[in-house]
């Protein structure tokens, strides 16, 4: 299917940069630069919930290596990927048909490889059973390139995420240490996502690569390929295209940060449809805090109503969301 034949159920507007701004982070190594970027970030995060970042400092080589590793992994035979089938800790490969986002009529048309901060089985947080802290399932025998291609990129993006969050704190006039302390051992969940081109059966089912949803965590940093397909629901209720822009990442606020800031920053619905006729790949990194980090709206608003939004540990919150959106938990819990 070509881009010109977008199904009616997935219509979206092509918009300008004023709708989803590009924010340059190149000057954030100075006080004045941080202050300027902080104001722009808060403006976008409070009104749109989405923005692009340029001048981010993640090298082109790291980005290229990560995307190449992703493509090579999804080209493996299904039997090789099935050896690391996704587990209850959200680690490993998820076949198509297992992601059914809340409110969607059908499953998503995508495959996913999940990973997080690399820990050993004897890690104290693993032994304590903290939600979403668990060893990764790396396919080192069949795909040794995956760990090597992903982890350096992951480390760089997580550092970028903390830099963005600290700027957001400055723009909200709160102590950036709120984030620094919460990210001492971050969850930092990552996904490699493969979206096959949609077919007639998908169109008949009105199926998306990723149905309309908000992200569960704090901050998402997305590398998408050049094909497009990401759509964002703006404040006016219109779906708009978040087209790829070279040398930028797409960033968005998640549910947990909206809760943490008592609604000052907004988590925005978005969806993906690959109507390019080719395989689409993306790499979202969910820059989430430590599993046991307490998310308290009073950190950002001392008048927050904690009866309505009580403090909650980050890992437990995200795990609850996962259970409602990924059907592999049902079979593993039975």
CATH number of the domain enclosing 309: 2.60.120.330
DSSP conformational letter for 196: P
- Structural domain harbouring 28: 3-333
For residue 40, which of 17, 60, 59, 63 has the smallest C-alpha distance?
17
Give residue 214's pLDDT: 93
Give residue 294's pLDDT: 97
Q: Is 270 strand, coil or helix?
A: strand
pLDDT digits (tens, 9 = 90+) for 136-187: 999 999 999 999 999 999 999 999 999 999 999 999 999 999 999 999 999 9
Torsion of CA 293, 296, 300, 305, to 10 degrees: 170
Give residue 97's pLDDT: 65
Distance CA 125, CA 119 (A): 9
- Count of CB atoms within 10 A of residue 192's CB? 24
Q: Which residues pair with 51 in a beta bridge?
A: 251
Q: Which residues contact 135 (CB under 8 A, 6 or more apart)?
A: 91, 118, 119, 120, 121, 126
Give residue 12's pLDDT: 74
What domain count does the chain have?
Answer: 1
251: enclosing H helix or E strand: strand 249-253
Q: Judging by beta carbons within 10 Å of its beta carbon (0-12, 13-18, 19+), is residue 311 exposed, middle or buried?
A: middle
**b or e along 174-190 (b: 16 or more beta carbons within 10 Å of the residue's beta carbon)?**
bebebbeebbebbbbbb
Q: Which residues contact 265 (CB under 8 A, 6 or more apart)?
A: 42, 45, 46, 49, 168, 172, 253, 257, 258
Distance CA 35, CA 20 (A): 20
**Contact criterion met (CB below 8 Å) for 172 and 42:** yes
Q: Is 28 strand, coil or helix?
A: coil
142: left (phi over 0), alpha (psi -120 to 50) or beta: alpha
For residue 167, which of 31, 260, 58 has the smallest C-alpha distance?
31
Per-residue pLDDT of the chain (334 residues; tens, 9 = 90+): 444 466 776 777 776 656 899 999 998 888 899 999 999 999 999 999 999 999 999 999 999 999 999 999 999 999 999 999 999 899 999 988 655 555 455 677 899 999 999 999 999 999 999 999 999 999 999 999 999 999 999 999 999 999 999 999 999 999 999 999 999 999 999 999 999 988 888 888 888 888 889 999 999 999 999 988 899 998 888 899 899 999 999 999 999 999 999 999 999 999 998 888 899 999 999 999 999 999 999 999 999 999 999 999 999 999 988 777 655 444 444 4
Give residue 205's pLDDT: 80
Q: Is 246 strand, coil or helix?
A: coil
Pairing of strands 270-272, 230-233: antiparallel
Report phi then psi at 131, rounded to 5. Answer: -55, 135
DSSP string, 123-155: -HHHHTT-TT-------TTT-THHHHHHHHHHH
Report phi then psi at 260, rounded to 5. Answer: -60, -40
Pair of tokens at residue 65? 């290596």
**Contact criterion met (CB below 8 Å) for 188 and 158:** yes
For residue 226, which of 245, 201, 206 has the smallest C-alpha distance?
245
- Count of CB atoms within 10 A of residue 91's CB? 20
Give residue 108's pLDDT: 77
Give residue 107's pLDDT: 74
**Contact criterion met (CB below 8 Å) for 129 and 88:** no
Distance CA 232, CA 325 (A): 20
Give residue 160's pLDDT: 97
């Amino acid at each position: 299917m070509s881009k010109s034949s977008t199904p009616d159920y997935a219509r979206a507007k092509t918009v300008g940069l004023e709708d989803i701004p590009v924010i340059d982070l190149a000057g954030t190594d100075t006080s004045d630069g941080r202050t300027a970027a902080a104001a722009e970030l808060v403006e976008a995060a409070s009104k749109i919930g989405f923005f692009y970042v340029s001048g981010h400092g993640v090298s082109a080589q790291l980005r290229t290596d990560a995307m190449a590793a992703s493509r090579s992994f999804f080209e493996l035979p299904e039997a090789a990927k099935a050896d690391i089938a996704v587990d209850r800790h959200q680690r490993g490969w998820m076949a198509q048909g297992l992601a059914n986002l809340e409110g969607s009529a059908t499953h998503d048309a995508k495959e996913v490889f999940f990973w997080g901060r690399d820990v050993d089985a004897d890690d104290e947080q693993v032994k304590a059973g903290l939600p979403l802290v668990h060893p990764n399932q790396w396919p080192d025998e069949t795909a040794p390139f995956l760990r090597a291609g992903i982890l350096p990129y992951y480390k760089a993006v997580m550092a970028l995420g903390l830099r963005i969050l600290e700027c957001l704190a400055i723009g909200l006039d709160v102590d950036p240490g709120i984030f620094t302390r919460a990210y001492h051992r971050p969850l930092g969940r990552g996904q490699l996502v493969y979206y096959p081109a949609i077919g007639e059966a998908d169109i008949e089912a009105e199926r998306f690569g990723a149905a309309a949803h908000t992200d569960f965590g704090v901050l998402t940093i997305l590398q998408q390929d050049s094909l497009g397909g990401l759509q964002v629901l703006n404040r006016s209720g219109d779906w708009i295209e978040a087209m790829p822009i070279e040398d930028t990442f797409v960033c968005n606020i998640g549910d947990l940060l909206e809760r943490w800031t008592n609604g000052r920053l907004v988590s925005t619905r978005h969806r993906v449809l690959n109507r390019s006729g080719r395989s689409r790949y993306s790499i979202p990194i969910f820059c989430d805090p430590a599993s046991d980090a307490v998310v308290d709206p009073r950190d950002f608003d001392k008048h927050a109503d904690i009866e309505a939004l009580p403090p909650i540990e980050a890992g437990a919150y995200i795990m609850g969301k996962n259970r409602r959106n990924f059907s592999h938990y049902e079979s593993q819990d039975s």
